[in-house]
Structure 1
């Protein structure tokens, strides 16, 4: 019967995070002030859409209003 030997794992290499250049920081601020999606930040609309139940194919929310799907499938 073979014996198992524990092998130590190497320590993880720390990831360096570099700040965005000022031009991108200004662009992100502009997008955020206009309510747009900003890289690296949570997209509330996507989270809301992705959290919907699987059986939600009979009705769809458009801009907060519940709309019946067209019956001509």
Structure 2
């Protein structure tokens, strides 16, 4: 008596993924461009851009028992502002 051969495994068919829809970016009105330029000249955080000070502070080890500079002011551990 012959043993029947197993049926071939089903092969999944890839589903085509549509390309992403491009997002239309509108330039900021001139009043906001001037405000962003003013804020940037003062070293402030701008909408849509990374906050360099936050990135620097968050990158430090949490166990660091050292004085750090926050907004240009030296702050000792446990000190309040």
Shared fold (TM-score, shorter chain, > 0.5): yes
Larger radius of gyration: 2
RMSD: 2.1
2:48 pairs with 1:59 = no
- TM alignment of 1:30-69, pairs within 5 A: 30-56=38-64, 58-62=65-69, 63=72, 65=74, 67-69=76-78
TM-score, scaled to structure 1: 0.73
Q: Flag the structure with higher helix content.
A: 1
TM-score, scaled to structure 2: 0.67
Aligned length: 69
1:60 CA displacement: 4.2
Runs of 5+ consecutive residues of structure 2 not aligned to the other structure? 1-8
Could you say what secondary structure the match of 1:26 adopts?
A: helix
